[in-house]
Each structure stands twice: as structure tokens, then as C-alpha cells.
Amino acid sequence: MEKSYCPIDTFINVIKGKRKATIILHLFQGDKRYGELVKLLTDISERMLTKQLKELEEDGLIIRTVFPQVPPKVVYSLSDMGKEIHPTLKSMFRGGIMFEKLIEEEG
């Protein structure tokens, strides 16, 4: 995580990326295994999903738990910080819907 000139830019730099905000919104609904996230995020490759999950974990927004069993079981959940930014992301989601409606009306 890198600090920017403006805290808003810092926030955006942490959550920007292919579906990072969407991953956080899905995890707010409950812990997910990797395969569940693959099914929920059909518009990105598994390689990109893995990259985004690693970055979210490095930035302290999600927790990756590996259970020692065969085959290995990996569960992703939100950290306290991930839970804390949920209302902001939910507001951004609603704002996106508002702008999409405006775009449809113009088109």
C-alpha cells in the first residue's frame, strides 16, 4: 500500500484493479472458497483473480486461511479493514447504478 498526496487517491489506488471492489462486496456476504469466487467473477481469468486476491491480502483487506487437509482447503474472508470500507464501496456501487441509468437515458 502506497500513500498518495490525497487520502482519496490512496483509497482508490488500493481498491482499483480488476474486480477488487467486487471481491470485497462478495466477501462481505460471507467467506468464500476460491472456486466460489471463480464462479461469481466469470469475466476475469483465474490468473487475474489470484493476482487480485494476493494484492488484497497484502493490503490487509482480506484474510486467506489455508486448512491443512488433502486436498487443501483455502477460504477467503474480509479483515476488519475490509469490513470497514464496505459502506464506502456500497455507496460507490449505488453511484455506479445512478450513472448507468443516466448513460442509458442519453443513449
Domain CATH for 42: 1.10.10.10
Residue 44 belongs to a domain: yes
Beta strands in 1-107 (DSSP E): 32-33, 62-67, 73-78
CA atoms within 13 A on the CB side of 61: 24
Residue 1 belongs to a domain: no
What pLDDT sits at residue 70?
87
Residue 89 belongs to a domain: yes
pLDDT value at 5 more than 80: no
Domain residue limits at 23:
7-106
Cross-strand pairs, 76 = 32, 64
pTM: 0.85
Residue 88 to residue 86: CA distance in whole angstroms: 5
Residue 2 belongs to a domain: no
Mean pLDDT over the full length of the chain? 91
Q: How far, CA to CA in Å, does 37 sit from each of 45, 51, 82?
A: 11, 13, 16
Residue 93 to residue 6: CA distance in whole angstroms: 22
Number of domains in the chain: 1
